[in-house]
Amino acid sequence: MSIESKSEASAAELAALDNGFMGHPKPLRPLFFTEMWERFSYLRLTHQVQR
């Protein structure tokens, strides 16, 4: 493998990541929002129980 092919692979990987969510890979977006939904649901339920 030459140095040029390594740089082309790196450029292709960077281009794929560039299309992601805030620079992160695309599969992290639904994972992030699922985690936030779970977290806020838990906080809402604990708030209702404390009333």
pLDDT per residue as tens digits for the range 33-46: 999 999 999 999 99
pLDDT computed for residue 6 by the predictor:
60
Length of the chain: 51
pLDDT < 70 regions, the chain: 1-9, 14-21
Looking at residue 25, its pLDDT comes to 83
**Per-residue model confidence (pLDDT) at position 31:** 92
Alpha carbon 34 to its chain's center: 11
Whether the pTM exceeds 0.75: the reply is no
How much helix, strand and coil, in percent to the nearest 5, is found in the chain? 75, 5, 20
